Amino acid sequence: MKVKCSAKKRFKVTASGKIKRKHAYKSHKLGHKSKKQKRVLGSFVVIARSDETNVKLALAMK
């Protein structure tokens, strides 16, 4: 099964097998957002358990 290129760019797999992603809303319109909000949006977060199945299929993981 092929890996979806869009998923390959958006998700990273940790050593323990968890999948992490970046926050949204960090690409434009940053003038009105606070420093704290921009700092938090720049960090990674582990994806929700409800999304794991779809992301693993897109990444061709078992």
Question: CATH topology for 5-58?
Answer: Factor Xa Inhibitor (4.10.410)
Q: How confident is the model at residue 10 (pLDDT cuts 50, 70, 90)?
A: very high
C-alpha separations of 12 from 3, 29, 43, 48 in Å: 13, 26, 13, 14
Please report the pLDDT score of residue 62 as a whole number: 65
- Which residues on neighbouring strands pair with residue 45, listed in sequence order? 21
| Digit-coded pLDDT (tens) for 21-62 | 999 999 999 999 999 999 999 999 999 999 999 999 999 876
The helix/strand/coil state of 22 is strand
**Residue ranges of the domains in the chain?**
5-58
Residue 1 has pLDDT above 80, yes or no: no
